[in-house]
Amino acid sequence: MNLRLNSEFGTLKAVLMHRPGREIDRLTPYNISEYLFEDMPYLEIMQREHDEFRSLIKGATGATVYRLLDLLIESLIDDNLLISAFQIALKPHKLEHLAEDIIGRFSTLECANALIGGVKVRELQRKLRHKSLDKLGEHAFVITPSPNSYFMRDPAAVVQTGVISCQMKNTIRHRESFIMRMIFENHPLFKENFNLIYPKDTIEEALTEKHADIEGGDVIVLSAKALAIGNSERTDPEAILEVAKEVLKSGEVERVYEVLLPKKRNFMHLDTVFTIIDENLVVTYPDAMSAVMETRVHRKEGIDEDGNTILSTEVLKESILEVLKKEIDYLEIIHTGDGNPDYASREQWFDGANVFAIGPRRVISYNRNRHTNRALREAGVEVNVIPSSELSRGLGGPRCMTMALDRQDF
């Protein structure tokens, strides 16, 4: 597995996904905001929709679809990794000392499910009685669930020179990043070609030291020479600078664009504003594109005596749309809602601009975004639709649910 990407639209060869599981059923009216949801999906229907999504990718492209749970199980065969993962998951309640007792009573599958789906005191007490658990109510979580795990785009980003191990803004999502980095560093499929771009420390240090935040939804590969990163409510400028220094160091990438997004929920990540679906074609949310009036472009100026990249930064007082026109020849633009402001705002809420490119001018989109899909088809795009009544409740689209690992070079 090469773990390098030079485009967002080259024919898909490998992708990572997570089928929603019991972590979704952990959501209640009282905790949904804590877990960054605004509604409670119906898990059974959600799984059917996700299964159709995965089958469509395989059928349309022949790409290998890796499942997060499978990769996690295969990684946790290493006892040292298994103990470390549980110690980290149990740390918030200061229950690390129970790690070996728990994994001694759980199968590897149960351990993997626990790290994603969480474990409550009453569930653990069926297999383990310990006085440390008595101080917690029976319905308290010993290990918190990760219901955002089906948004595979965020915990890591594969770009031109390697992998960004994302540092999530919200604490409730930190374990997602840890799981992905553990898999990339240790699974036989990936470890030989895993080049870590950020953060430049060990996995233990990344968990104990505060790093500037960056999430994969803010990272878009413009071309082999250019990378765009959103400065958003979820990604900090300090992280963008650190990533830029590493990505630009070898000279393969020449420009890193820092796109200043409004700190609003519907502009959460850069890929809610636009996605690239061919070398000269983007789909955008027009209100957001016009709202972004400053972009910074970072370039390599040199290397200092310690081997660190020296950056030069130019501030562009123009919209991201104008930046894209300079970066992409003969840019063609498709607006969400087919340009109708009412439909655009409605379909943007359900990620009309967040389509997943499976090849040049071939995308997967939510069926509910009818006007956007029609505009795409009129532009000659092959639009494959998936059902979305439940998947869309987490406010993420097809691109959000996929981590592209390998594409045909374009």
E-assigned strands of 246-308? 255-260, 274-278, 281-284, 295-303
Closest by CA to 383, choosing from 375, 391, 394, is 375
What is the C-alpha end-to-end distance of the chain, expressed in Å? 17
E-assigned strands of 290-370? 295-303, 309-316, 332-335, 356-359, 362-366
- Scanning the structure block, which residue is given the tokens 């006007």? 371
- Scanning the structure block, which residue is given the tokens 């960056």? 214
Reply yes or no on whether 166 is catalytic.
no
Show Cβ contacts of residue 381 under 8 Å, excluding neighbours closer than 6 positions: 277, 278, 281, 334, 361, 362, 363
Taking the C-alpha atoms of residue 259 and residue 255, their distance in angstroms, rounded to an integer, is: 12
Count of alpha carbons within 13 angstroms of residue 230, beta-carbon side: 27
- Scanning the structure block, which residue is given the tokens 């990718």? 57
E-assigned strands of 2-84? 12-17, 64-67
Show Cβ contacts of residue 204 under 8 Å, excluding neighbours closer than 6 positions: none
Out of 240, 289, 334, 400, which one is annotated catalytic? 400
Residues with a known catalytic role: 400
